[in-house]
Amino acid sequence: MDIHFIVFGRLTREFLLPAAAQPRLDAAGGSLLYASAGLGVWESGVGLVGRVGNDYPRAWLNEIRARGFDTSGVHILPQNLDVREFVAYNESFEANRVNPVSHFARRQMTVPKSLLGYQADKKPDEALKLTVRDIPDDYLTARAAYLCPMDLVTQTQLIAGLKRGHAHSFILDPAPASMTPTARRELPALLNGVTAFLPSEEELRNLFQAETHDLWEMAEAVSLYGCEYVVIKRGAHGQLLYDADAKRRWEIPAYPSRVEDVTGAGDAFGGGFVSGFCKNYDPLEGVLHGNVSASLKLEGYGAFHPLEVLPGLAKARLEALRELVRRV
């Protein structure tokens, strides 16, 4: 398979307690899968880069390959690694990631044995940190790379490593820990040369705190660190797009989809953005494609749900959404 797009992120074992639907216990998840599926709605030739332990189910890796993704960048380390992730949602789709026992008890359910000993605040295992050596040589022909949330140092090093290849578009989603006033001094080194920066509204407000409450001012300030475009993800309110060079601004509403599960919607947006942007290097097309990928994810459970919808649905939504864009 020729690799045109690379996605860097995490593979997890997901334990989800939806507000109303059936629990999803010990299933394949993680930012890497959600972002890749969001990209896979539109494109093929997607290579995944991540790390898992020897205890990660091989059947899940086989399914990823069966979906048409290249997994030669997923490295299986020779030890067991805890990649469990627990999330419980209330009726407003607000996430709670702590104390699984109380959430299962409230629903009169037994905690699965595979979740015993889970700690939400556990520091990520250093063995799971990606390095430039994780990038297969075959991936260096890719046109673009999407980096899911991870620590600043790792993201910076991966982008530097990619620059020895053919990639010319670097789309970056920051980790919440990177978006604090104290971490702000590190952003210029990270964003210099980045094509598009995709923070959430909450992350951006946390970065600036009381300094300003104007999201456009924040976007412009961040763009001065060296990125070409800033996309602010606003959940149900859609996205704001700021073009640094042209000083142009757009508001894009969220496609009005039925919400079943919000897990991974932001990652799916990022994957879709890469596809749309790389068609003709138009950031607005990137946001529109990402918006549709996220809308498809919201309507079902599991990272691969966007790939299972009716043929033609994504393109139909894309055309409908294009009519709703507002230049500001």
* DSSP-assigned letters across all residues of 96-163: E-S-HHHHHHHTT-PPPGGGTT--TTPPPPGGG---GGGS-GGGGG-SEEEE-S--HHHHHHHHHHHT
CATH of the domain at 273: 3.40.1190.20
User: Cα 74 to the chain's mean position, in Å?
Assistant: 17
The arithmetic mean of pLDDT across residues 137-154, rounded, is: 96
For residue 19, being part of any structural domain is answered with no
For residue 108, being part of any structural domain is answered with no
Q: How confident is the model at residue 123 (pLDDT cuts 50, 70, 90)?
A: confident
d(CA 170, CA 147): 8
Which contiguous run of DSSP H or E holds residue 7? strand 5-8
**Residues 6+ away with beta carbon under 8 Å from 58:** none
d(CA 252, CA 324): 7
For residue 115, being part of any structural domain is answered with no
For residue 84, being part of any structural domain is answered with no
Q: Token pair for residue 164?
A: 């020895």
Q: What percent of the chain has pLDDT over 90?
A: 90
For residue 112, being part of any structural domain is answered with no
pLDDT for res 11: 98
Please count the other Cβ atoms lying within 10 Å of the Cβ belonging to residue 127.
Answer: 11
d(CA 264, CA 247): 30
For residue 140, being part of any structural domain is answered with yes
Tell me the three state secondary structure of residue 327.
strand
pLDDT for res 19: 85
* Structural domain count, the chain: 1
**Residues 6+ away with beta carbon under 8 Å from 246:** none
If you compute the radius of gyration of the chain from its CA atoms, what whole number of angstroms results? 19
For residue 161, being part of any structural domain is answered with yes
Side chain identity, residue 4: H
The arithmetic mean of pLDDT across residues 114-124, rounded, is: 86
Specify the higher pLDDT residue, 11 or 183. Answer: 11
Q: How confident is the model at residue 327 (pLDDT cuts 50, 70, 90)?
A: very high
- Comparing 98-107, 226-235, 238-247, 276-285, which segment has the lowest mean pLDDT? 98-107
For residue 92, being part of any structural domain is answered with no
pLDDT for res 111: 92
pLDDT 10s digits, 14-34 = 999 998 788 999 999 999 999
DSSP 282-309: -HHHHHHHHHHHHHHHHTSSSTTGGGGS
User: Given a cut of 90, is residue 264 above it in pLDDT?
Assistant: yes
User: Given a cut of 90, is residue 122 above it in pLDDT?
Assistant: no
Phi-psi region of 62 (alpha: psi -120 to 50; beta: other; left: phi over 0): alpha
**Residues 6+ away with beta carbon under 8 Å from 97:** 85, 86, 87, 88, 120
User: Given a cut of 90, is residue 119 above it in pLDDT?
Assistant: no
Q: Which domain holds residue 225?
A: 5-12+32-76+127-327
The arithmetic mean of pLDDT across residues 147-155, rounded, is: 95
Q: How confident is the model at residue 124 (pLDDT cuts 50, 70, 90)?
A: confident
The arithmetic mean of pLDDT across residues 63-75, rounded, is: 98
The arithmetic mean of pLDDT across residues 238-252, rounded, is: 97
Q: What percent of the chain has pLDDT over 70?
A: 100
88 neighbors 95 (Cβ within 8 angstroms): yes
pLDDT for res 88: 95
pLDDT 10s digits, 271-316 = 999 999 999 999 999 999 999 999 999 999 999 999 999 999 999 9
The arithmetic mean of pLDDT across residues 184-208, rounded, is: 94
